[in-house]
Chains A and B, each alone.
Chain A
Amino acid sequence: MFGKLSIEKSHKNTHFSVEKKRGYFVYKRDKKTVKLVSKSLELEVRPLIPINLPDRITDTFMVRYSSLHIGPGESTIVFLKIPIEIGVFFQGESIDTFGFSKEEFVLYGPVDGGLVARNVRGEVIENPNEKGDGKSAIIPLRIKNYLKDAVKASRLLLNTKFLEVYYKDNLVATEMVKLDLHGIPRVRYMNRNYFKGMTKIKAKKQVLKKEEVSKMEWGV
């Protein structure tokens, strides 16, 4: 499903179709049609974190999931399943992006000083299906509570600038993320893939310095 797609005459999958006409190829999805002039066509199909539709107005997204109550000093690994977007690229340029979730946004924090994030409804799953469905991504999340009280966590704020995405066939996963529950919760990007044998998407990633972490100062 994901990766490079060489097309000589025609191609059809569950999402889009491509057909060769005289001198050019026609890409079609729903009502969208794109004409591509090339002797032999190579498209790249990439899974994307869902922040591009309808317009990319923010780099951050907020995953909401059914709440987890984490006891004092406890730690666990959970898997968050989130819907993805799919990008189709021709010669490195995006020709189409489509998604599988409702496009909505939230304000994280106060009106003065908060930030706009794409709202993504996630699902906590015990054992992720390693085959994947081509429509969702798995976020391996390690949570550790450093506080003396239990904490209720139901949301995770992530910045796509720092988040690596991997894929293998229909399985899509992000790098492992760690949520440290201190007075101000911190999100660490672990630069580590949980699943084996996956391909990393070559996209420009800004690397946080070791001492830098994302903060969730307005709660988890």
Chain B
Amino acid sequence: MIDIAAILASEKAITVITGIVTFIIGILIIKRLEKVFERGFRRSMPKGMAKSVSRLTYYGMVFLVSLIALDAGGFKIESLLLAGGVMGVAIGFASKTTVSNLISGLFLYVDRPFDIGDSVDFEGVGGTVQDITPLSTRITTWDGPMVRVPNETVFNSNIKNFKKVVVRRFEYKIGVSYDSNIDTAMKTIEKVLQDEPYVLKEPAVSVFMSNMLDSSIEITVKAWTPASKNYSVKTQILKKFYDALTKAKIEIPYPQMDVHLRK
């Protein structure tokens, strides 16, 4: 007598085993493909971005293989997909920021306003770009710590990239007393600029009287430097202005007010 129950049981077991074997083979193939994808992405993307994109591709393929394996194993995946769709909407709402960062990351990748190693400033966060991942940009700030800036923030910011320029300008406003000789003061400042090798001779420096304030005459100084030397010149030259003006007996006044009393 034929044992129908046993046959059905064995057929079911074979189907399940087929599903398991499909899953194992699929995963082995994906594991191999992941490295190939990463190498391919690295040719056209930053290291961090390439790793993340290849990882995302990996998980996408694992999901696909799982569906194929479940189908091969005799499971009805239609109901699973329906449940997955409902869950997807819920996850979608929950991961709005993540998706926004991901899309901003892609736009940054296409727009390429900076590369790894560039010195940048995103509205107050300044430093050297260490990595660009799909979700965030990592920066080592000027004072040392690493900051992770979400790509959405970076994309919506005014980005200053200092690596893309060969020269930069600095500007100072210096107040001198009304009792001082303004021509002497301006010549003194110009002499300091002339003696500084990294202040470019062209474009020429600009030193001019820019305002008559309550307590002082304001002199504006604008000068260009090679981008690589801008910080060192800017941080040292103000002291040189002060020393030279003091030596030339040009007074830098405190805020003051003359009070006239009437009888």
Contacts and interface: CB of A to CB of B under 8 A. Distances in A.
A116 B197 contact: no
A114 B198 contact: no
Nearest to B194: A104
B201 A116 contact: no
Given A57-B228, A57-B229, A116-B226, A105 B197 contact: yes
A107 B167 contact: yes
A111 B226 contact: no
A159 to B, nearest CB: 15
A111 B198 CA distance: 16
Contact of B201 (A55, A105, A114, A115): A105
Interface in A89-116: 102-108, 111-112, 114-116
A116 B203 contact: no
Contacts of A103: 197
Q: Is the interface of A mostly helix, strand, loop or mixed?
A: loop
A105 B166 contact: no
A104 B198 CA distance: 7
- Please tell me the size bucket of the interface on B: 10 to 19
B229 A104 contact: no
Contacts of B228: 57
A119 interface: yes
A202 B201 CA distance: 33
Nearest to A62: B202
Contacts of B200: 105-107, 116
B226 A106 contact: no
Contacts of A105: 197-198, 200-201, 226
Nearest to A106: B202
Interface in B186-241: 197-198, 200-203, 224, 226, 228-229
Contacts of B224: 107, 111
Contacts of A72: none
A107 B202 contact: yes
Contacts of B226: 57-58, 105, 116
A201 B53 CA distance: 51
A54 interface: yes
Interface in B155-181: 165-167
Interface in A155-203: none
21 contacts: A54-B198, A55-B229, A57-B226, A103-B197, A105-B197, A105-B198, A105-B200, A105-B201, A105-B226, A106-B200, A107-B166, A107-B224, A111-B167, A111-B203, A111-B224, A112-B165, A114-B166, A115-B166, A116-B166, A116-B226, A119-B202
Given A107-B166, A116-B167, 19 more contacts: A54-B197, A54-B198, A55-B229, A57-B226, A57-B228, A102-B197, A106-B201, A106-B202, A107-B167, A107-B202, A108-B202, A111-B167, A112-B165, A114-B166, A114-B167, A115-B166, A116-B166, A116-B200, A119-B201
